[in-house]
Amino acid sequence: MTKRYGAAVAVDELSFQVRPGQVTGFLGPNGAGKSTTMRVIMGLCRPTSGYGLIDGRPYPELERPLRQVGAFLEAKAVHPGRSVYHHLAGLAKSNRIPESRVNETLALVGLQTVARKRAAGLSLGMAQRLGLAAALLGNPPVLLLDEPVNGLDPEGILWIRGLIRRLADEGRTILVSSHLMSEMALTASHLIVIGRGRLLADTTIDDFIARNSRSFVRIRTPEQERVRDVLTAAGVEARRGPDGAIEVVGASLEQVGELIGRHHVTVHEVSMRSASLEEAFMQLTADSVEYRDDAGPAFPAGRMG
């Protein structure tokens, strides 16, 4: 699908499918087009071209939308005077969901104790839980969660990670967005990475880690130039690290150590390092280079795409 706002392209010929039974992370820096994509799938904004399908059908064609897909997008407006319970009960009624689901859902998100409180007076963390409760009310097999950990305290973040994984283990199709690689590494087993509205990667988290956590040898030395000359003469690629240390890619610790020993240069440190996943992700999205999982498996049709 493509979505333009005037001349600006928010989503650029993006195409992917999401499979059931696992958490699919939707990763991209702020402004990459994640929310827009989710809003198109949920029928909240019209794509310029293309479409988003849930279980093979566009959102407006779903017969019982709340039972087929749950979405946690931006904080929804709640009726200021209504209690948490009545907010959900109203939603249940208008969607012909049995009222018994309200208490079940409140228990699921840990809001039983505030069921009688005014929805508008909730703390941010509690309001997030209420938003999730609304998404889960219809017990839907497909869930779209846009940055669900944003604004939560550490305990809330742990709780939501556990909940998301449990929901996936139950066989649901879950697309959860984040602008943090570290968050995705903890919850997702599959990754869709986008940058400037374009698809950058569609791959398993393990494959993404294997491809992107390139290790390098770090050298700290008072003889920068000599070390560089020695490395260059040996045909080894060296670059300058963020703190001024020399970073060598494509050579082992042993090879670098032997080179340095043979040329009697002084070094203060020679060590093996791994670029963090967060760095790999930032590099990938900053460059916005084409990164396609050409060696990866062909994915069978998902329930959402």
How would DSSP label each residue in 152-210?
--HHHHHHHHHHHHHHHHTT-EEEEEES-HHHHHHH-SEEEEEETTEEEEEEEHHHHHH
5 binds ligand ADP (CB under 6 A): yes
CB of 158 to ligand ADP, least distance (A): 24
**Cα gap 73→132, rounded to integer Å:** 9
28 binds ligand ADP (CB under 6 A): yes
35 binds ligand ADP (CB under 6 A): yes
According to DSSP, the residues that pair with 269 across neighbouring strands are 220
**Cα gap 40→23, rounded to integer Å:** 20
Q: Which three-class secondary structure state does DSSP give residue 282?
A: helix
CB of 239 to ligand ADP, least distance (A): 30
CA 186, 187, 188, 194 torsion-angle sign: negative
Near ligand ADP by CB under 6 A: residue from 32, 71, 91, 114: 32
CA 124 from chain center: how many Å? 21
**CA–CA–CA angle 158, 159, 164 (5° rounding):** 100
- Give the nearer residue to ligand ADP in terms of CB position, either 10 or 188: 10
The window from 17-25, 27-35, 249-257, 272-280 that contacts ligand ADP (CB under 6 A) reads 27-35
Which of 261, 221, 259, 266 is closest to 241 using CA atoms? 221
CB of 28 to ligand ADP, least distance (A): 5
CB of 25 to ligand ADP, least distance (A): 13
The window from 24-32, 160-168, 198-206, 220-228 that contacts ligand ADP (CB under 6 A) reads 24-32
**Cα gap 56→20, rounded to integer Å:** 13
CA 63, 65, 66, 69 torsion-angle sign: positive
285 binds ligand ADP (CB under 6 A): no
34 binds ligand ADP (CB under 6 A): yes
The window from 30-38, 93-101, 104-112, 213-221 that contacts ligand ADP (CB under 6 A) reads 30-38
Please tell me the count of residues contacting ligand ADP according to CB under 6 A: 11
Q: Which three-class secondary structure state does DSSP give residue 128?
A: helix
CB of 141 to ligand ADP, least distance (A): 24
Near ligand ADP by CB under 6 A: residue from 1, 14, 27, 36: 36
The window from 5-13, 57-65, 71-79, 88-96 that contacts ligand ADP (CB under 6 A) reads 5-13
Near ligand ADP by CB under 6 A: residue from 13, 15, 21, 31: 31
Rule CB under 6 A: which residues touch ligand ADP?
Answer: 5, 8, 10, 28, 30-36
